[in-house]
A and B are shown apart, each in its own frame.
Chain A
Amino acid sequence: QVQLQESGPGLVKPSQTLSLTCTVSGGSINTGSNYWTWVRQPAGKGLEFLGRIHFRGNTDYNPSLKSRVTLSIDTSKNLFSLNLSSVTAADTAIYYCARDILGQVLNSPDNYYYMDVWGTGTAVTVSS
């Protein structure tokens, strides 16, 4: 089955750019309606959606972070990446990548949405 694994530096200096990669194994990143998502969780706090990307390049970003977040995807390497610029201590968190599914319910205006596969997460600390 599909598995995801985050990778990247565990320590980033303030004002620099945080860069993480999520490698997809056990399946292709080029699948139909699937999007590939980043979520983060500060220690002891809740989950925060950062953004999502489709293999065709379509993206959705958290409006509160949109100016600092950039997502990219490399279908030849079966991975997708997160760049978060101008980081501060408030960006210290565990970062997760996930596969998400968004679709419209048949004969209804409602949507269904969930993240069905998650990576194990990678801890990132912002500190000088």
Chain B
Amino acid sequence: QSVLTQPPSVSAAPGQKVTISCSGTRTNIGNNYVCWYQQLPGTAPKLIIYDNDKRPSGIPDRFSGSKSGTSATLGITEVQTGDEAEYFCGTWDFSLRMGVFGTGTQVTVL
């Protein structure tokens, strides 16, 4: 059902960096800004990146976002055990005329 493609999982040792990719098409990422959500176990998604690379108030600068063409990337530096969560990318699809999400990526801190 998910329109955007992400790797199922990534892992890193504490203090290292992780990157998560999000691949779409011309009708979504290619022509719209991307956002990212963090979903800690048992909780609702939380917006951590919007407009490709902006962070809402309270989100540490260890989280960063970028977009190029029909793909986007979320980066987490100095990863901590508290960052263990599912991460979803999201954007608008002008062909479907609806919000679309990525398949989700589980981040594990070893």
Contact = CB atoms under 8 A, between A and B. Distances in A.
Interface of A: 37, 39, 46-49, 51-52, 60-64, 96, 100, 102, 105, 109-116, 118-121
A111 B92 contact: yes
Interface stretch (B16-24, B42-50, B68-76, B77-85): B42-50
Nearest to B1: A48
Interface in B52-101: 56, 88, 90-92, 94, 96-101
A105 B94 CA distance: 14
Interface of B: 1-2, 31-33, 35, 37, 43-47, 50-51, 56, 88, 90-92, 94, 96-104
A39 B100 CA distance: 10
A118 B44 contact: yes
Contact of A60 (B47, B90, B97, B102): B97
A58 to B, nearest CB: 11
16 contacts: A46-B88, A46-B104, A48-B101, A49-B98, A51-B98, A60-B97, A62-B98, A63-B98, A102-B92, A109-B31, A110-B32, A112-B51, A114-B51, A115-B35, A115-B47, A121-B44
